[in-house]
Structures are given as C-alpha cells and as structure tokens.
Amino acid sequence: MTLRARLLYGTIGALCAAIAVFDGFEFLELKLLDLRYRWLDRAPSGDVVIVAIDPASLAQRGVWPWPREDHAALLERLATAGARQIAFDIDISSRSTPAGDAALATALAAHGANVVLPVFRQRAGLGVDSARLVETAPRPEFARHTGVASINVRPDADGIVRRVAYAEAWPSGTIPSLAAWLARVPAPAPSEYYVDFGIRAEAFARLSYADVLAGEFDAVAVRGKTVLVGATAVELGDHITVPRLATLPGVYVEALAYETLIQGRAIARVSPFVSAVIALLLALVLGPKFATWRWPNGLAGVGVVTVGSVGGAVAVQAIAPVALDVVPWIAAAAASYGVGLVRAIDRQANRLVADAVEAGYRRATTRAIVEQSFDAIVALSDVGKVEAFNPAAERIFGYAAADTIGWDATILFPDAIDGSVGGGAVRFLQSLGATTGKRRVEARAQRADGEVFAVELAIGRAQVSATGLPVRSARLQKDVYICTLRDITDQKAAAAKIQRLNQRLSNRVVKSRRELRSAHAELLRNERLATLGRFVATVSHELRNPLGTIQSSVQTIARSLAGDALRAPLERIRRNIARCDRIIAELLDFTRDPNLEIEPTTVDAWVTDVLGELATPETVAIDWLPGAGDCVLKFDRERMRRALVNVIENAVQAVQARVEGGTAPDRPFVRIATTVAANRLEIAIGDSGAGIDAARMPRLFEPLYSTKEFGVGLGLTIARQALRQHRGDVVIRSVSGAGTEVTLWLPLVDVQEASAA
C-alpha cells in the first residue's frame, strides 16, 4: 500500500475517531444502548416493593396532598410489618398542619434509622428564571431522624433519562442519590452510572398506598424488603421518559436505579478514546483490503464488522456492566469501504485507459524482446519450417536470419527426424525429446561451419492470427512453436571440471576424517595415560604413610612383648592394611576392562546380600527400605556392587565423622531405599552427615578429587563409570548441615540391548 493510501485511510480513521471523541455519534450510540436493553432483559432481585400512590388511592382519599398523618400511619404499618428500609419519593419540604407535622416527626423519630427522605433541585421558573435552581429538602424536624438522598435525574439530549448520579454536590456537602443510599454504595464524589433498563420494571412487587394505609395487605410481602413510596398516578405528573418503556413513574426509575446497583449492573460506557483508537485501526487495516476485494466481498466485510460490533457489544453487556461504543467502528468500516470502492472504480477506469495504450506498444515490445534476447529464439511452423530467427540465433548458428526463413529445421538439429514427413513440427520436437511446456531438454545443434555443439532447449506453443488481433476463425490462425536455445558447451565443460574437483575434495575429506579419528584416539590414550600417571603418584604417596605406620607399630610390638600393650598397634596395622587394600581395589576398578558380565538379578535380594557383607560401626544405624519388589534387571553384579559399596561407605564415613565430632543428630543413620518409577530403577542412599559445600559439588566426579582427608578420590568416579556403562547415572543432592542423598538409577531395559544401542 502506498504512503498516499495509508494517509487516506488514516485520515478516514482519524475523522471517525475525532467524531467519536467529540460525541458526534452520541445519538446513535444511545439508540443502540436502548436496543440492547430490549435484547438483554432480566428479572429484578425481588428485594423491592413499591407502595404506589395510584389512581385508586387518589380516588379513595379524594384530595391531594394528603395529610401528614397518613404518611405517619403508613410508616408505622410498614415498620411493624418488618420492612428493612423505606424510601419516600414525596415532597415534604413545606409546612402542613401542626398535628400532621408532629405525627410524622414522631413516626420518623421512632423508625427513621432505616428511612430516607428526598432532596431535589428544580428550576425557579421560565425565561430568565430558568437558569436558577431552587434546592428543596425535607423540613429539619423530619430530616434529623432520617437519611436524606437526592432524587434528581437529568435527561440526555434526546430528552430520555438513562443515567442517575451516585451523589450530588449540595451546599452542605455531597449527598448520595436515593439508589446509592438504599444500596449502601459509598460515593465520595458526584458521579453517574447508566441504569440497566433491561431489568423488567413490571415485575416489581407493588402495593396500593390506600391498601397499606388501611392495613389490607400481607405483611410477608414487605418483611425484610426495601420499600419505595411514590406517585404512579399520571395526574400527579411524576413521569419520566426512559428507554424501552417510553415513560415511567419517578418511583419506578428510582427502583430500577437501586436494582441496578444491588445486581452489580451499574453500566459504564467505555472511554471514547478507546473507541476512537479502534476505529482508527479498523480504517488502517480494512481500508487496504477493501481496495483489493470485489465489491460484494467488501460489502460483506462491512456487514461482518457491523454484526460483530453490535453482537460483541451485546455479549459484553450481557456478561459485565460495560457498554461499548461501536458506532465509530461501523462508521470507520463503512467509510473505508466507500473510499475503497471509489478508488477501485477509479483504478479500473485508469486500467482500461492504460490497456488501450498498452495494446499499441505490445507488438513492438515483443519484437524488441525477441531481438534483444540473450537466448537464441527460433520460431517453427506447424510443419517444422523456420519462420523467425533472432540475432542471438545468428550468433550461435552462424547463419543470417534472412537466409534461414523457410528452411527445414533439421538443418539446425542434425539428430531430428524430418518434420515434413507426417506429424509436422510435433513429430520433429518429439524426436528431440522436447514437449511444449516448461521442461527443458538437452539436444545437439549444428553451426554453419559444421561444428556440432550442445544446447539447452525449451519449447513453447502459440496461436497467431494473420491480423495480429484475436479472432475466432481457425482459417485466420496458425500454430507456431517457439524454440528457446542456449549454448551450454562452456557449462558442460565447467560441470565436468567441477565434478573432478568435487571427487578430489571428497577424497581429501575422507582422508582428513581418518586422520582426525586417529588423532582423537591418540589424544584419548594420552589423556588416560596422564590420568594413570597422576593416579600412580597419588597411590604411591598414600601407600607410603600406612606402610610407615605399619613399621612403627611392629616396632612397638617388639618393645611390648605381651599383654594389652599389643592390641592398639595391631589394630592400627589392620586398619591401614585395609586402607591399602581399598586404594588398590579402586585403582583396579578405574582401569578395568569396560566389558560387562551381565547376569539377571533380583534387585532387592541383591542389595540385601551386599549390605550383609558390609561392616559398619555400631554408632551408625543402617535403614534398609526395599521397594523394588520382584524387579529383575540384568547387570554386572560385581561392578554394581563396587559402585553401591563406594557410595554407602562414603555415607557411613560422613555420618561417623559427625558422630566423632559431637554434632550428630539423636539417631545417626544411613538409609538405603529402592524404588521403581518413570521407567527406571532407583537406589537412593541418604545419610544424616554434615552435607557437602555447594562450592564442591561441581567437582565431586573428578578423578582424584576428594572431600575427605584420606582416600584417592575415585569412589564416586568409579560409581558413575559403572552406572553409565549400564546406561544409568548418579545424581547427588546435598544440603550443607542436613545430609546428602546419592541416587543410583538404571533404565528398565536389558543392559545388553542398551549397550547395543
């Protein structure tokens, strides 16, 4: 889309947005809101009872206004019946008879905590007084016992009342509206909400004022309810124009406003800026599409936007008390469609003019393309005769174009069958392996000097008329076969050279891979030898100390020939000899041949046997929790035994070190548990040792690294080596000061199958 088009549709969207922001669509939006009230009607909550000053009550009483004693008696009746709260939509701002005022004041003093009286503003008169407002409030002797609330309503520009205030600003401060007071809605500042006129006003419970005053009503009807007392008779003039229902008595409007609040349906209009932004986006998005669509599709698009906008607004208002302003969206879509339609018509007209002009240049352009083409172009008649020969064909073949016209094409293509004998050009082309279409074939051609060379050939078929204009008569048309050729002699030579180079490169790559594998194997051997060298040095160092101890102990035995004096040295000799034995065993395990001796093994029974062979100090409790059941796995028992023993001995040593240091828990333990889960067997070895510092965790599996003051640091390395040979692994979790858990896991597959994989 061009910048000009973007600016055009942006201007349309901006115009619709500006109209929306400045309430230009307000009339239509309010009418759509009124329609939604008709479509989304709902029942009242049942909390409201209206005591109506209706025509029957006026006829019975015969005079208006009624004595204040009647209102006092009505209040007593309602309060005695158990009404939860009572609202009077009756003006009691002026004096009445002293007896009537006293009676009403007494009744309000007794029950006024749950009674609200109205305040309102009205115009002082017509003409110059129409701008001056008079504030009317109940007399002080009445208001001091009750709540006061505003019953003012203001119609929209079309004279229809759709919203009421939460509160009104009065000289004495902010006064809540009657509905807000009854619903106990806090309203710190004057603000308005749209009443949900979808609530069915005719469904409100209603009692006649005269019946209540006479006590001729069921007290259950008002018990625990909110009662609104007000005029419904037309002759009293308290009727208001509202959506959906034409007019309603003012007391019904107040009842609907109250119901709106207690049902959580205080409808709020979405900011016009939101609608404006969406209208702008719709114009920018839909405008370019309308410009490219056919007019029925564009009209359908406007319909979809209209139905979707209205339907979406209905759905949103049905779910939440939110009114969407959708007229700007519809207007933006419709305006974009109209402009797009006009632009499409304008483009079509321009296209027709351009086509008419283009027709005059087309033949000349086609000839120029043929003449300037890099490829050779030869046109053949339906009987295989040369009809056209462009300059590139002259350069390739070495013939002048004027000489070739009418020649048989076999002069140019020595491998072709003479097309003049049955089948014409079709047979000629088939003999070359070519067909009319996009597929290119390789063929041989012959130059004027007799040289045969390779060409790439593509064939196209066209129908031309004698006049150069489209005609229907077959007599004025003939088929022409357009042969496009390219000399590929140099390409074929280059391809052969590339093929030779590729073969040479491939041979070098194979040789390099062999050398790389050999170097890698040599590197691994060197690394293993280096590791063994370091390991032998460590073993030598470790063996020197126990041998010295053995020597000193023997000397002690020599000096102490009998008795208890021999026990301690002999015990040291035993421990150090065992220590040397473990070092040598670890050395052998680390350098052992990786071939496995696989045997079927019942895991829990095997672990029980391994634990039975271990000698552990009495200060450390060994908890064995078999959980693998009858699980049988195939593995190398000796390697797995060594891995398990290494981990258990590490755990026992960690717990024993804590016991000797006096920091062990009440029950020092090592816990061994087996489980089968997630397609694998787990052997968990947990201890109550001191745990491992987090800084040391990354190095635990390094050969020759140890966290203890003794040992060569191969226990965990050998354990992981054994587990990984079985396609398993070792996982370590440790909390410093709380202990360590090492988990050995194996997959629940045949180890021989795993090794093969």
Tell me the percentage of the chain whose pLDDT exceeds 70. Answer: 78
What is the rounded CA–CA span in Å between residue 661 and residue 674?
Answer: 30
Nearest 5°: phi and psi at 412? -85, -30
Q: Residue 749 pLDDT > 90, yes or no?
A: no
Summarize the confidence of residues 110-128 as an average pLDDT.
77
pLDDT number for residue 751:
44
Q: E strands along 271-336, which residues?
A: 322-323
pLDDT number for residue 288:
76
The answer to whether position 35 is within a domain reads no
Most confident by average pLDDT, 58-62, 129-133, 477-481: 58-62
Most confident by average pLDDT, 254-268, 335-349, 440-454, 536-550: 254-268
pLDDT number for residue 753:
46
Mean pLDDT of the chain: 80
DSSP secondary structure letters along 361-387: HHHHHHHHHHHH-SSEEEEEETTSBEE
More confident residue, 594 or 502: 502
pLDDT number for residue 745:
92
Nearest to 652 by CA among 618, 682, 675: 618
Cα–Cα distances in Å, from 211 out to 59, 73, 214, 227, 712? 13, 12, 5, 14, 105
pLDDT number for residue 757:
43
More confident residue, 606 or 436: 606
pLDDT number for residue 435:
64
Are 112 and 198 found together in one domain? Answer: yes
pLDDT digits (tens, 9 = 90+) for 577-590: 665 665 665 555 55
Q: Residue 602 pLDDT > 90, yes or no?
A: yes
pLDDT number for residue 257:
92
Nearest to 647 by CA among 617, 687, 619, 698: 687
Are 643 and 519 found together in one domain? Answer: no
pLDDT digits (tens, 9 = 90+) for 153-182: 888 888 899 889 888 888 778 889 899 999
Are 612 and 508 found together in one domain? Answer: no
pLDDT digits (tens, 9 = 90+) for 667-685: 889 999 999 987 899 999 9
Nearest to 86 by CA among 62, 121, 110: 110
Nearest to 274 by CA among 194, 313, 317, 329: 329
What is the rounded CA–CA span in Å between residue 609 and residue 605?
Answer: 6
Are 210 and 61 found together in one domain? Answer: yes
Q: Which of 348, 382, 414 is the last residue of a domain?
A: 348
Hey, how many other C-beta atoms are within 10 angstroms of the C-beta on 466?
Answer: 11
pLDDT digits (tens, 9 = 90+) for 366-384: 677 777 777 888 888 877 7
Q: Residue 512 pLDDT > 60, yes or no?
A: yes
User: What confidence tier does 421 reach under pLDDT thresholds 50, 70, 90?
Assistant: very low
pLDDT number for residue 701:
65
The answer to whether position 29 is within a domain reads no
Are 147 and 237 found together in one domain? Answer: yes
Q: Provide the domain limits for residue 478.
A: 373-487
What is the rounded CA–CA span in Å between residue 408 and residue 381?
Answer: 10
CB proximity list for 444: less than 8 A, separation 6 or greater: 413, 414, 415, 452, 453, 454, 455
Q: Residue 693 pLDDT > 80, yes or no?
A: no
Are 431 and 464 found together in one domain? Answer: yes
The answer to whether position 358 is within a domain reads no
The answer to whether position 33 is within a domain reads no
Are 611 and 659 found together in one domain? Answer: yes
What is the rounded CA–CA span in Å between residue 218 and residue 83?
Answer: 12
The answer to whether position 578 is within a domain reads no
The answer to whether position 356 is within a domain reads no
Nearest to 381 by CA among 467, 482, 485, 484: 482
Range with the lowest mean pLDDT among 137-141, 197-201, 467-471, 734-738? 467-471
The answer to whether position 367 is within a domain reads no
User: What confidence tier does 431 reach under pLDDT thresholds 50, 70, 90?
Assistant: low
Q: Residue 541 pLDDT > 60, yes or no?
A: no
Q: Which of 566, 581, 615 is the last residue of a domain?
A: 566
Assign residue 464 the CATH number of its domain.
Answer: 3.30.450.20
Hey, how many other C-beta atoms are within 10 angstroms of the C-beta on 367?
Answer: 12
pLDDT number for residue 684:
92
More confident residue, 14 or 549: 14
Angle, CA of 510, 514 and 519, to the nearest 5°: 145
Reading the block at residue 388, the tokens are: 């056209």
pLDDT digits (tens, 9 = 90+) for 211-263: 999 999 999 999 999 999 999 888 887 888 998 877 899 899 999 999 999 99
Are 93 and 73 found together in one domain? Answer: yes
Hey, how many other C-beta atoms are within 10 angstroms of the C-beta on 375?
Answer: 17
Q: Residue 493 pLDDT > 50, yes or no?
A: yes
pLDDT digits (tens, 9 = 90+) for 322-343: 888 888 888 888 888 788 777 7
- 277-308 core/surface letters (b: 16 or more CB in 10 A; e: else): ebbbebbbebbbebbebeeeebeebbeebbee
Reading the block at residue 695, the tokens are: 């800084």
User: What confidence tier does 81 reach under pLDDT thresholds 50, 70, 90?
Assistant: very high
Hey, how many other C-beta atoms are within 10 angstroms of the C-beta on 266?
Answer: 22
User: What confidence tier does 360 reach under pLDDT thresholds 50, 70, 90?
Assistant: low
The answer to whether position 318 is within a domain reads yes
What is the rounded CA–CA span in Å between residue 434 and residue 436?
Answer: 7
Radius of gyration of the chain (CA): 52
User: What confidence tier does 50 reach under pLDDT thresholds 50, 70, 90?
Assistant: very high
Tell me the percentage of the chain whose pLDDT exceeds 90. Answer: 15
More confident residue, 26 or 184: 184
Q: Residue 655 pLDDT > 50, yes or no?
A: yes
What's at 298, amino acid-wise?
G
Cα–Cα distances in Å, from 290 out to 11, 176, 379? 16, 51, 45
Are 471 and 522 found together in one domain? Answer: no
Nearest to 161 by CA among 268, 276, 239: 239
Nearest to 153 by CA among 264, 255, 263: 255
User: What confidence tier does 422 reach under pLDDT thresholds 50, 70, 90?
Assistant: very low
More confident residue, 573 or 48: 48
Are 58 and 161 found together in one domain? Answer: yes
What is the rounded CA–CA span in Å between residue 329 and residue 349?
Answer: 30
Cα–Cα distances in Å, from 210 out to 48, 51, 57, 412, 739? 19, 9, 5, 119, 86
pLDDT digits (tens, 9 = 90+) for 701-745: 666 555 555 555 566 788 888 888 888 999 889 888 788 999 999
Q: Residue 117 pLDDT > 80, yes or no?
A: yes
Nearest 5°: phi and psi at 23? 65, 30
pLDDT number for residue 211:
92
Are 614 and 652 found together in one domain? Answer: yes
Summarize the confidence of residues 81-89 as an average pLDDT.
92
pTM for this predicted structure: 0.48
Contact criterion met (CB below 8 Å) for 280 and 16: yes
Domain count, the chain: 5
CB proximity list for 165: less than 8 A, separation 6 or greater: 150, 152, 177, 190, 191, 192
Q: Which of 566, 586, 605 is the last residue of a domain?
A: 566
What is the rounded CA–CA span in Å between residue 248 and residue 236?
Answer: 13
pLDDT number for residue 616:
82
Range with the lowest mean pLDDT among 298-307, 567-576, 580-589, 666-675? 580-589
* Residues found in the chain: 757
| Residue with the two structure tokens 């879509």 | 333
Are 131 and 204 found together in one domain? Answer: yes
pLDDT digits (tens, 9 = 90+) for 608-648: 999 888 878 888 889 999 999 889 999 988 888 888 888 89
115-123 vs 147-150, strand pairing mode: parallel
What is the rounded CA–CA span in Å between residue 635 and residue 748?
Answer: 11
